[in-house]
Amino acid sequence: MQFQSNLLNTTVVRPTITETTALGAAYLAGLAVGFWKNIDEVQAYWTKEKSFEPYMKDDVRATLQKEWKRAIKAAQAWSEE
């Protein structure tokens, strides 16, 4: 998560429960059947475990982003064959 924060140059928040896709589906199902009254009630269950703040230098970030874009192009070339 720290690397993502550094690379994106933004704060990344990790929730206490990291299985957010399954949890979101459960929340929606609970809302649909009336287990929870509204979204505000569901939001009360969400908690943050940790936040990650960026600290990477801009020149290092730029180099890593350039290399990432290069890797994406290479992967796209493989898919064209």
Domain ranges of the chain: 2-79
Residue carrying the six token digits 């979101």: 24
Q: How confident is the model at residue 80 (pLDDT cuts 50, 70, 90)?
A: confident
Q: Measuring CA to CA, which residue among 24, 27, 25, 46 is closest to residue 35?
A: 27
Q: How far apart are CA 54 and CA 47, in angstroms?
A: 21
Whether 39 and 31 have beta carbons less than 8 Å apart is answered as yes
Averaged pLDDT for residues 60-80: 92
> For residue range 59-68, what is the model confidence (pLDDT) as tens digits?
999 999 999 9
Count of Cβ atoms closer than 10 Å to residue 5 Cβ: 19
Averaged pLDDT for residues 54-79: 93
- State residue 78's pLDDT score: 86
- State residue 81's pLDDT score: 61
Residue carrying the six token digits 């979204």: 39
- State residue 57's pLDDT score: 96
**Predicted TM-score of the model (pTM):** 0.70
